[in-house]
Structure 1
């Protein structure tokens, strides 16, 4: 099974969640578009945290910014038709930024998700503002008939926000990942992998 991990925003925790998923499932990892490479890559971070197999990015840019801007600065253009998913059955694909971050003049991240034809796990913050951002993201995905497996919240546990997202978004919150003081393989593996996720990944 291939799963696309996207988020409601940049720096929402997609890479940490992707690492956590790979660590518990043994899935491979692929991030087709990476910006901010001068600061390091998410592929390197996932490999360091999990030891899982990671695949080389199709598009890699130095500037830490939206993909369309990072590409423009290097006088390049991202063509999502040049993105090919690795030929493995168990794969986590991580997007860049949020769902409607632009990739070029006419294409958004959600268009890449649609092209990949994979179901989505949406990563959202647990804190104030998350209800609006999450519901808007769900609406954008559903408008394009993209299958949504559920939400993973990242940050301090917030029962009210969790329940509101499930109720108004008509979606299941698959997990709520606590803020880790130190991000390491040892600490990530301690975060429980709940039954809902075990069912999705067919590891029960």
Structure 2
């Protein structure tokens, strides 16, 4: 008679949970094919072999991801958040493939990929001395502050923007106008300071 210790039962319970989690993560059409593997270790090895590809496939995937990263730009009317999220997906895939990206390069890539209405902000942020150590999340959160102002600037730059009535402009709260003016002046000042 085999005696199971509490540790053995705990290990078996964790193995069953892990196996179920792996099976549930597979597409439905693969469930029956992988269900025959009784241990998590066997199941995981088979999943990696089936979906991981060989070295040539991995190299091709890695090169494609590097190319996507190199050519990364805003798409159409994509928002700041959508651009950030799309870049995060590419970065995550590159990290999974063991491709390292320097923080400064990553931040510069994000800034240069933004739409033209972000130009003033990107110029200011590209001159920052701590850009090489700042995380991409921090940079995104700093830029998010200007998201509404940039959207307004984009709308104003469109052909229909010239048809804005004087009454529409007068409806903008005086404090908001002053805040926008201060932000633009601060951006210009920081550019001048960086020149000297």
TM bucket (normalised to shorter chain) is: under 0.3
> Relative to total residues, which structure has the larger strand share, 1 or 2?
1
Which structure is richer in relative contact order (CA contacts within 8 A, separation 6 or more)? 1
**When the two structures are superposed, what TM-score results if normalisation uses the length of structure 1?**
0.22
Greater Rg, structure 1 or structure 2? 2
> Relative to total residues, which structure has the larger helix share, 1 or 2?
2
